[in-house]
């Protein structure tokens, strides 16, 4: 399966992972289940990484769009 790493999709994945991880940590704490706490902590860490990746991907998309505009301007200028 092809991975889609667009910024909005990574952001949603990060939010969902965080939304699942935090309650899992809390339930593990309440039930004294360190395995659930650790699993929840790992999901929260994953969520942070996904949100960070989404931000970097958004920056990259912006840079690609800017480069594309610059390229179009250069082509236009060379035709004149």
Structure confidence at residue 29 (pLDDT): 93
Is the pLDDT at 36 greater than 90? The verdict is yes
Q: Is residue 63 part of a domain?
A: yes
Q: Is residue 2 part of a domain?
A: no
Is the pLDDT at 1 greater than 70? The verdict is no
Enter the pTM of the model.
0.69
Q: Is residue 1 part of a domain?
A: no
Residue range of the domain that includes 54: 7-79
Q: What is the number of domains present in the chain?
A: 1
Spell out the residues 6+ positions from residue 14 whose beta carbon is closer than 8 angstroms to its own.
Answer: 46, 47, 48, 49, 50, 51, 53, 54
Is the pLDDT at 4 greater than 80? The verdict is no
Q: Is residue 12 part of a domain?
A: yes
């Amino acid at each position: 399966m092809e991975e889609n790493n667009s910024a909005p999709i990574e952001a949603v994945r990060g939010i969902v992972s965080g939304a699942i991880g935090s309650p899992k940590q809390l339930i593990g704490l309440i039930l004294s289940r360190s395995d659930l706490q650790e699993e929840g902590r790992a999901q929260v860490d994953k969520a942070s990484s996904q949100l960070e990746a989404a931000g970097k991907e958004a920056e990259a998309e912006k840079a690609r769009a800017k480069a594309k505009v610059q390229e179009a301007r250069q082509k236009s200028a060379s035709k004149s």
